[in-house]
């Protein structure tokens, strides 16, 4: 079975995810995002360099969570797989609360 593992980031608020985000791991991903929305203020990092694939529903969940972030808050999505970048650009090109970072 495909898996998605998530652990806290050292030194900043956020998580490092590894695996893939699809039908089988959607619930885990949505829990991660739920937690991220609840947690504090400012910037929340989603380090995705070890995530190999994100489907449209996974991108949809990320966008929906980002839309619930209050003033002055945002997600920084680090090194997402190409599929996530493509889907975000296509459906949520101007979402101010998601910043995609390739570094």
Residues that bind another protein (CB under 8 A): 1-2, 20, 22-24, 53, 55-57, 60-61, 64, 82-83, 86-87, 90-91
Taking Cα atoms as reference points, which of 30, 46, 40 lies closest to residue 78?
46
Report the alpha-carbon distance of residue 19 to residue 64 in Å, rounded.
Answer: 21
Q: How far is CA 67 from CA 53, 57, 77, in A?
A: 22, 15, 14
Number of neighbouring beta carbons within 10 Å of residue 21: 29
Nearest approach, Cβ of residue 64 and another protein (Å): 6
Nearest approach, Cβ of residue 39 and another protein (Å): 21
For another protein, the closer CB: 20 or 47: 20
Nearest approach, Cβ of residue 81 and another protein (Å): 9
For another protein, the closer CB: 37 or 43: 37
């Amino acid at each position: 079975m495909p898996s998605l593992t998530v652990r806290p980031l050292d030194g900043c608020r956020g998580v490092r995810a590894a695996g893939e985000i699809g039908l089988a791991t959607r619930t885990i991903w949505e829990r991660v995002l739920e937690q991220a929305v609840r947690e504090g203020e400012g910037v929340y990092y989603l380090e995705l360099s070890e995530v190999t694939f994100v489907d449209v529903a996974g991108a949809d969940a990320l966008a929906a969570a980002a839309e619930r972030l209050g003033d002055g808050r945002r997600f920084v999505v680090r090194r997402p797989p190409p599929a996530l970048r493509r889907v975000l650009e296509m459906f949520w090109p101007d979402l101010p609360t998601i910043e995609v970072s390739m570094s």
